[in-house]
Chains A and B, each alone.
Chain A
Amino acid sequence: MSSPQEAHGSERAIGPPLGLLAELTHRCPLRCPYCSNPLELDRKSSELSTETWKRVLSEAADLGVLQVHLSGGEPTARPDLEEIVRHCRAAGLYSNLITAGVNLPNDRLAGLAEAGLDHVQLSVQAPDPETNDAVSGLAGSFEQKMATAAAMRTLGLPITLNTVVHRRTIGDIERMIQMALDIGARRLEIAHAQYYGWALKNRRSLMPSRAQVEAAAMVVEKARAELKGRLVIDSVVPDYYARYPKPCMGGWARQSLNVTPSGKVLPCHAAETLTDIDFPSVREASLRNIWFDAPAFNLFRGTGWMPEPCRSCERRELDWGGCRCQALAITGDAAAADPACSKSDWHERMVTIAETDARAREDYIYRGGRSIPRNVARKAWHRSDITNS
């Protein structure tokens, strides 16, 4: 194998990755309209076996990965999750479970804690049952999540509360912060919906207005200062109204990598939207080989690939050209500057899309069909009656 320096000419040496997102399955009981998983999900029959995951995790540890995020879909749908967690611990990897917290009996949680699980990220769609259940597309899910949170607390499992905000929930951030404190979370992750995969289908129903985004940022900033030392608040910013793009993944293939349920290795979990790129598989190569040598990983690595305006930009090593998936989705060219950047020729068009979508009617398209369970639909309708009157 050639050394990274040789492979990459005068570019700075490629360091090993710090994090691995292990998408154990695409199966999920929820049907969130902002799901950023692909339109076409991996089937159960194509999922990697327990033994292959264990091999991949060992390879990750040997490569330099320190943290593994066990995700999906809903990772607890895999009956071998406890075995996978135990393997992470034995390999010295910090394991973080990202779960919806439904259909999760206490004995499974206890088993996961016993296996050495380090941390849990529990997703909640909204701070009240009506909105939560309408957004998640699963009646009764709020109640289950709260029961799961209580059980985790009893077991001493440290919790981050994860929530995705969009037009319908962006005004609920203060209540989400209170909920995080109430359930004993020490960290809150507020992610604005990102428009990849299924979420792109629902952009018109999800996009907030610029005024809403600015108000939300002020709420977060104030809470962060007030709760310093009690609650860590991290936010994933919405970039449609931004001046500069997000440093997507801290740069293409720079810090972390992602393995899909069927074993494809990606530099970021939305990268399968880049359909022209041939992504390697753990079934055919080692993670080390893939990380350093796979053409897909070197394609947008560093700064050498950049066209203008990125190439001569003083921010090129701050935001790394932004997001390749967004560049493709908006401009049709994955190598273009991220249109979230005000220096992009496409920026005004992107802002217009956001402003237009923010005024559109809310009408979620759910995976598996437009309809939602009747009692959820009724409650959701009831709430919008109140809001509108």
Chain B
Amino acid sequence: MDDASMPRLPAGVRLQEDKVRGGWTLLGPERVFQLDEIAVEILKRCTGEASLAAIEKDLAKTFDAEVDEICGDVREFLTGMVEKGMVVL
């Protein structure tokens, strides 16, 4: 995973609002992840059309933070999701 990576949700994985429990979930084969607000913002940007660098820049703007402050957490989160097959690069 590097600045030029283009993360996206593969076929069979989608974001779904959970109207009963509140918030958003990431659904995949036999998998349900309940997401916090930051995870939702990261995953909404994983469209396959934006580079990781661009996503981080956009997130920094949204959360009024420096890219250096957030990129470690973003990459750690996405690495876990890639290993679980919920995000592809």
Contacts and interface: CB of A to CB of B under 8 A. Distances in A.
Interface in B24-65: 25, 27-30, 32
Contacts of B12: 118-119, 158, 186
A71 to B, nearest CB: 13
Query: For the side of the interface on A, what is the size category?
Result: 20 to 34
A118 B14 CA distance: 9
A236 B21 CA distance: 28
Interface string A1-31: 0000000000000001011000000000000
A66 B16 contact: yes
B83 interface: yes
Contact of A229 (B18, B20, B32, B85): B85
Query: For the side of the interface on B, what is the size category?
Result: 20 to 34
A63, A67, A121 interface centre (most CB from chain B within 10 Å):
A67
Contact of A121 (B11, B13, B29, B32): B29
Contacts, number: 58
Nearest to A255: B32
A58 to B, nearest CB: 13
A64 B11 contact: no
A275 to B, nearest CB: 29
Contact of B10 (A16, A19, A62, A186): A186
Nearest to A156: B11
A16 B32 CA distance: 14
A118 B19 CA distance: 19
Contacts of A156: 11
Nearest to A63: B20
A178 B82 CA distance: 21
Contacts of A186: 10, 12, 29, 85
Interface in A53-105: 62-64, 66-67, 92, 94, 96
A96 B14 CA distance: 13
Nearest to A234: B30
Contact of B82 (A158, A160, A229, A234): A229
A94 B29 CA distance: 9
Contacts of A121: 29
Contacts of A187: 29-30, 85
A94 B16 contact: yes
B23 to A, nearest CB: 12
A18 B25 CA distance: 11
Given A62-B20, A67-B27, A158-B10, A18 B85 contact: no
A121 B28 CA distance: 12
B20 A16 contact: yes
Given A64-B21, A67-B32, A158-B10, A232 B85 contact: yes
A157 interface: yes
B20 A94 contact: no
Contacts of B66: none
Nearest to B87: A229
A228 interface: yes
Contacts of B20: 16, 62-64
Interface of B: 10-14, 16-21, 25, 27-30, 32, 82-85
Interface of A: 16, 18-19, 62-64, 66-67, 92, 94, 96, 118-119, 121, 156-158, 160, 186-187, 189, 228-229, 231-232, 234
Given A67-B27, A118-B12, 15 more contacts: A18-B32, A64-B20, A64-B21, A66-B18, A66-B32, A92-B16, A92-B17, A92-B19, A121-B29, A157-B11, A158-B13, A187-B29, A187-B85, A189-B30, A231-B85
